[in-house]
Amino acid sequence: MRELLESLAEGGRKATHLDKAVIGLRLAEAADWYARVEVMAARERDDASWADVGKALGINRRAAHERSAAVPKACTLGCS
């Protein structure tokens, strides 16, 4: 994303709708990665249960587990 933003600034051109779509998808990826990392931290460090996670996210515990239990994949944006 940084490269895309820099190339737009250097080239002096306005972002196209496709540029904006790419930025949006990359932001969504970063947000998902961040949420997964924080859920795992809450589980490991704060002793949060899957029910606690589900309640905080507004979903049931099973959905929270299915969404967040996997180790977060590496974020392609250097999110850490």
pLDDT tens, position by position, 71-80: 666 665 545 4
Is residue 75 situated within a structural domain? no
Helix (H) or strand (E) holding 73: none
**Which comes out higher in pLDDT, residue 36 or 2?**
36
pLDDT at 80: 45
pLDDT at 77: 54
Is residue 80 situated within a structural domain? no
Q: Which domain holds residue 31?
A: 2-68
Per the structure, the count of domains in the chain is 1
Taking only the tens place, the pLDDT of each residue in 17-54 is 888 888 888 889 999 999 999 999 999 999 999 999 99
Is residue 74 situated within a structural domain? no
Is residue 25 situated within a structural domain? yes
Is residue 47 situated within a structural domain? yes
pLDDT at 13: 74
